[in-house]
Structure formats: C-alpha cells, structure tokens
Amino acid sequence: MKEPAPLQPFAPEMPDEDVVRRVVAGEPELFEILLRRHNQRVYRVARAVMGDDAQAEDLAQEAWVRAYQHLGEFEGRARFSTWLVRIVLHEGWTRSRKSKRFEPIGDDSESSEEYMTAAPDPESRALGSEMRGYLESAVDSLPDSYRVVLMLRDVEELSTAEAAETLGLSENAIKVRLHRARAMVRQDLAARVGEGVRETFPFLGVRCDEMVRKVMLRVRGSGGPPAA
C-alpha cells in the first residue's frame, strides 16, 4: 500500500493550538505537522532522561502516541511544546523509576548568585563538530536531573522561566542546576561549554522521518482522532 505524501514539514503559518484543534475535530493527518515541528525536542528530552539512543527513540515514540491519545485534554494554558515535554518527562521518569535508576528532580535551596557563569570565551565558541562526540559523552555522564536541565536550557535553548515551568521547579533551582551541569561538563572536557552544544543529539533527516512514519501508522490505526 502506497503511503500518503508527507505534509509540509512545519506549516509555520498554523500555530500549534490551531493544529491541535483541527486534529481533535477530525483531521488526524495534521498531527504530522506537530511531529515534524517538535520531534527533535521530544527526542532530546527523551535522550536526557534515558541516556541511551535506542531507549530514547522508544520513549519518544511512546510519548508521541500518548500525546495524540490525550490531545483532547490539551487546554492551551501552557504552550503545546511545554505540555508535550511534560508527557515525555512523565513517561520517562515512570520508566526510570521502574528500573530504579533515576534521581528525581527536586528543588534546590541554595542561592543562584554564586553559580553565575561568564559568557563563553572564543575558544568555546569555536567548538566544532569534531568535538560533538566528546561533548555528548560528557553530557551523558551527568546526573539525570542535571542532564535534563542542561538539555532544555543549552541544547533546546529554553529560557530559565520556560525550563522552570516545564519541570515544575523554581527559576533559582534551574540556574543552580544549570551551573552545576555546565561545571561538570567543563571539568570533563577541560573547556567551557559553548555554542557547539546546540549541535549535539541531532534528530533530523532519516531518523526524524522514520519516527514520523511509525507514529503516524499507530495514530491512523487507533480508530480516529481523540475526543475533545
């Protein structure tokens, strides 16, 4: 059976909330827009929780299916991307608790002032693709709770406020954990974390297409769009 042609990847003229409403109203094929728009973020967050490529892809796929199944519950109080990341985190933490390997993310009481860092120096900004493998290894070695914060702030470039909202932490706690995560990575690499970190853990091209294909097959076989 010939698969339908892919939709426009990002449809920038259509806000997430409008896409959600149309999917819930009976156009499940539009869910692909959300998949392609947010697939890399979902994978990166899953990767931060699981610390393993294969487990992260499995978690990302399951999180997408759960998001589709509960799409009618999205009320628009938070951004769709925030709502989606919370699903990834909830599912990932559930899996991790079952394996007894995850350190829960709790608030930090220390002041953030002593943890403020300087801007990346020229050497950090020059960090290129040849260092990506070393940097990914350094990020993987972080404690789980720090790795998630680093992934959201430095890799996905969420603001402190956005990361705090997503994780249910104070902004001070985000600043503290981000500094500590950066310090651990600097120690591992003997260099500052610079702009090259945003090129790590890519989930584009064929990998993204394959995730879209798998999720859309499951969505189409689920018997229609989620009820409002």
Confidence of residue 100 (pLDDT cuts 50, 70, 90): low
Stronger pLDDT, 71 or 109, i.e. the higher one: 71
Nearest to 74 by CA among 6, 18, 33, 149: 18
Predicted local confidence at residue 140, as pLDDT: 85
Pick the residue with more confidence: 208 or 224?
208
Cα dist. 176→40, 85, 112, 154 in Å?
26, 21, 5, 14
Exposure of 148 by Cβ count < 10 A (0-12 exposed, 13-18 middle, 19+ buried)? buried
CA–centroid distance for 178 within its chain: 16
Spatial neighbors of 75 by CB under 8 A, at least 6 apart, are: none
Regarding predicted confidence, which is higher, 30 or 4?
30
In the predicted model, what is the mean pLDDT of the chain? 78
62 falls in which pLDDT band (50, 70, 90)?
very high
Q: Which two tokens stand for residue 103?
A: 């350190």
Domain(s) of CATH 1.10.1740.10: residues in the chain: 16-102+203-220
* 16-35 per-residue burial string, b: 16 or more CB within 10 A, e: under 16: beebbbbbbeeebebbbbbb
For domain 16-102+203-220, which architecture applies? Answer: Orthogonal Bundle (1.10)
Q: Does domain 113-199 have CATH number 3.30.465.10?
A: no
pLDDT, residue 199, reads: 64
Does 157 score more than 60 pLDDT?
Answer: yes
Location of each CATH 1.10.10.10 domain in the chain:
113-199
Percentage of the chain beyond pLDDT 70 is 71
